[in-house]
């Protein structure tokens, strides 16, 4: 990994997403549904997010799904709904971009691009979001080594864009008990070796909502600069990833504990 810019010894980076900051003591608490399903569902989610420390809204409008028959998102209409809810909550939002042809439309609405696990190695896409200068939340590929993850970040850096947030979201293993295995080794390592902020996705990290809270708190203890958590008012009816999404009560419980633990580690949230 010699020669990678992302490993340069320099002051820790603070990434600003409008009125939200992450890195160097600023904690990012990102939450929302896996996919935007309707304005009504988003408004219900907003009704309980507004009383928590959440400072970045998430939601998928373009969804890369394993099955072509699964819900693929609402496209631009989903981005419009996210923008409305974002404005109501007075916090920015992040949404996934899945293809170079969608960079312009997602960038027109979203305050931060998300590069999902399946696209971590889509190098042309990484270059295109890098050229925009807009913040990029880069998720580790589900089968990627740390070196491959850092090289993906390097593609964005090489376009002159340092506004990168690294996200550990779990890697595949042989154990069918969990969707993925959350690699907290990587979190501690990346925090030590890179100057970029590192956050954790405990929802995809396990795929089990009954242990999302425990993994979220463990991630803070491991040094994560933030969390990105999936929530839905009715997980059993969600069109995407309901099995790992926290309902209203579960999310509010997590939010209270995140706020308390973050303060212990001297994070600003």
Looking up residue 68, the CATH number of its domain turns out to be 3.20.20.70
- The answer to whether residue 159 is domain-embedded is yes
Domain of residue 215 covers 5-264
CB 62 within 8 A of CB 98: yes
216 is a domain residue = yes
Per-residue pLDDT of the chain (269 residues; tens, 9 = 90+): 768 999 999 999 999 999 999 999 999 999 999 999 999 999 999 999 999 999 999 999 997 766 776 667 799 999 999 999 999 999 999 999 999 999 999 999 999 999 999 999 999 999 999 999 999 999 999 999 999 999 999 999 999 999 999 999 999 999 989 999 999 999 999 999 999 999 999 999 999 999 999 999 999 999 999 999 999 999 999 998 999 999 999 999 999 999 999 999 989 88
Asked if residue 205 belongs to a domain, the reply is yes
Residue 138's DSSP bridge partners are 115, 166
Residue 269 lies in a domain: no
**Residues paired with 200 in a beta bridge:** 168, 227
Report if residue 229 sits inside a domain: yes
- Whether residue 50 contacts residue 234, with contact meaning beta carbons closer than 8 Å, is answered with no
133 within domain boundaries: yes
Q: Give pLDDT tens digits for 194-225.
A: 999 999 999 999 999 999 999 999 999 999 99
Look at residue 24 and tell me if it is in a domain. yes
DSSP 226-266: EEEEEB-S-GGG-SS-GGG-B-HHHHHHHHHHHHHHHHHTT
Other CB atoms within a 10 A radius of the CB of residue 248 amount to 17
- The answer to whether residue 55 is domain-embedded is yes
50 alpha-carbon distance from chain centroid: 19
Q: How far apart are CA 173 and CA 111, in angstroms?
A: 33
User: Per the structure, how many domains does the chain have?
Assistant: 1
pLDDT tens-place string over residues 85-112: 999 999 999 999 999 999 999 999 999 9
């Amino acid at each position: 990994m010699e020669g990678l810019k992302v490993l340069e010894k320099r002051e820790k980076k603070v990434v600003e997403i409008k009125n939200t900051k992450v890195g160097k003591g600023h904690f990012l608490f990102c939450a929302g549904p896996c996919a935007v399903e309707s304005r009504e569902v988003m408004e219900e989610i907003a009704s309980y997010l507004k009383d928590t420390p959440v400072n970045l809204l998430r939601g998928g409008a373009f969804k890369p799904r394993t099955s072509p028959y699964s819900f693929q998102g609402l496209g631009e209409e989903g981005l419009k709904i996210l923008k409305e809810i974002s404005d109501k909550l007075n916090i920015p939002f992040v949404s996934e971009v899945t293809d170079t042809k969608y960079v312009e439309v997602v960038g027109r609405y979203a305050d931060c691009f998300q590069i999902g696990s399946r696209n971590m190695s889509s190098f042309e896409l990484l270059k295109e979001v890098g050229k925009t200068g807009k913040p990029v939340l880069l998720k580790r590929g589900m089968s990627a080594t740390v070196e491959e993850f850092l090289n993906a970040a390097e593609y964005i850096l090489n376009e002159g864009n340092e506004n990168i947030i690294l996200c550990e979201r779990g890697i595949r293993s042989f154990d069918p008990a969990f969707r993925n295995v959350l690699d907290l080794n990587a979190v501690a390592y990346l925090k030590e070796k890179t100057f970029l902020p590192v956050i954790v996705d405990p929802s995809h990290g396990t795929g089990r909502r009954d242990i999302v809270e425990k993994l979220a708190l463990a991630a803070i203890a491991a040094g994560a600069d933030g969390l990105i958590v999936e929530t839905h008012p009715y997980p059993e009816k969600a069109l995407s990833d309901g099995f790992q999404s926290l309902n209203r009560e579960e999310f509010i419980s997590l939010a209270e504990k995140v706020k308390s633990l973050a303060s212990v580690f001297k994070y600003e949230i």
